[in-house]
Amino acid sequence: MDSIIRNIITLGLPTLMLLIARVATGKTGDAATWSALRKIGGSFGMLIGLGVLVFVGFVANYFSYFVVDSLLVRFYQKRRELEQPEELVREVDKLPITNDLKIKLKWALLHSNNQIISLKHVILKWFMLAAIVNALLSITGYLGEFNLFFELSSHFKLQYLLAGLPIFIFFALVRSKKIWLLVSAFCIILNLAEIVPWYFPAPAFAGETPGQNLRILHSNVLTNNRRYSEVISLVKTEQPDIAVFVEVSTVWAKELAVLSEIFPYSSNLQESERFGSAIYSKLPLENTSVKAFSKQRKSLFADVKFQGKIISLILVHPTVPIKQQNFIDRNKQLAGIGEYAAQVKNPLIVVGDFNTTMWSPFYKNMVKTGNLRNARSGFGILPTWPTFMPLAYIPIDHFLVSKEIGVLKIRTGRNVGSDHLPLITDLVI
């Protein structure tokens, strides 16, 4: 019986994942299966998708041992407090379970000190559970197109990597548990593959070109942040050519108006008392307009004159994907941004708080459709949110540029009271 339950768990989880992926493709027959495997494999392809399913089954198998055996042992230990162990042993002999599990149950019943579980055993079990959770979270992000919670799990690649390192070290020391060493190594490799490319290759433009670079500062100021002077001070210190802001409340809009002394050109969008966007520029702004990529938050558009060229700039702030409807709307906005970017003929900069990381499948589709690249490439992942919880830092603020634009440098600015760190980038056409 325990063997059947283990097989159901082992085969059930990867089968369920494949079925969900098949349904999401909207196809039928073999085409649905191949498409589902490609979806599961993400940017790595169909074979990796198949490998992911095999790995999930592998982890589920070991998890089934942990669950089934532990529950039965605990069940008989509780009964031992009220019944004679000899009678329970005879009962165990009659159970339709494997001999290995029978031996384990008998040992638990006949050893009175078994309830005092050794510290080593407890630590081992917790590390096994941590390895399982880390493996599942590392994988589910690749299924983000199918579910809100899967997509949310895609954003914490750095955290999964950092969590995987002590797990790997532990199982490297506990040499009898080689299978868990492989599981933890798999998690490290999987997350490293998503993080390391952001540090390599080196940026195409290694040095600055005096007088020819374009500096842009972006800041989500946070509607209830009251440290107005710190934001203004940051702008004056960094001396950007263009400063853009999102989550601009009506109060923030009044406070930021002082920047008009530095920036003669500006464009503002106030959607509500709490939310708005603003562009301040030392360079002339033309064709300013508002773009609606979905029913919710709108985006600011402007053409900027720079060195005799026209650069198009889009300031975006998609909705926070916590609720299902907002999740759908944010994804629609990202798709719309990608489609619009593909049609823009000028060099293009798309900047803002995207409420997603580079590891989201919706982000990947957007940059692929729009022929865009993240200015972070070669400079690291540069997490920007949340400042109130550094261990959970993830990169959700982005500068995306078209191929005509080179990135000299990109970095985070100092904390100015918001839950986001500012981003400052130096670009060259």
367 contacts 400 by C-beta, under 8 angstroms: yes
Does residue 177 carry a pLDDT above 50?
yes
Percent of the chain topping pLDDT 70: 89
Token pair 């400063």: residue:
243
Mean pLDDT value across the chain: 86
What is 204-428's CATH topology? Deoxyribonuclease I; Chain A (3.60.10)
- Residue 242 is inside which H or E element, if any? strand 242-246
Mean pLDDT of 144-161: 91
Give the CA distances from residue 110 to residues 67, 86, 87, 370, in Å, rounded to whole numbers and listed in that order.
Answer: 22, 8, 11, 67
Token pair 């982000």: residue:
363
Classified as helix, coil or strand, 247 is: coil
Span of 11-20, 234-243, 331-340 with lowest mean pLDDT = 11-20
pLDDT in tens, 298-356: 999 999 999 888 999 999 999 999 888 999 999 999 999 999 999 999 999 999 999 99
Does residue 163 carry a pLDDT above 70?
yes
Give pLDDT, residue 82: 78
- Report strand pairing: 397-401 vs 406-412: unpaired
pLDDT in tens, 259-285: 999 999 999 999 999 999 999 999 999
Give pLDDT, residue 203: 57
Q: Where in the chain are the domains?
A: 2-197, 204-428
Give pLDDT, residue 25: 66
- Report strand pairing: 397-401 vs 373-374: antiparallel
Does residue 156 carry a pLDDT above 50?
yes
Question: pTM value?
Answer: 0.74
Give pLDDT, residue 191: 95
Give pLDDT, residue 55: 75
User: For residue 217, what pLDDT band results from cuts at 50, 70 and 90?
Assistant: very high
pLDDT in tens, 387-414: 988 888 999 999 999 999 999 999 999 9
Span of 103-107, 130-134, 372-376 with lowest mean pLDDT = 103-107
Pick the more confident residue, 328 or 90. Answer: 328
Give the CA distances from residue 74 to residues 63, 70, 178, 187, in Å, rounded to whole numbers and listed in that order.
Answer: 16, 6, 26, 31
Q: For residues 2, 8, 11 and 16, what is the CA-based torsion angle, rounded to 10 degrees? A: -150
Give pLDDT, residue 102: 75
Does residue 115 carry a pLDDT above 50?
no
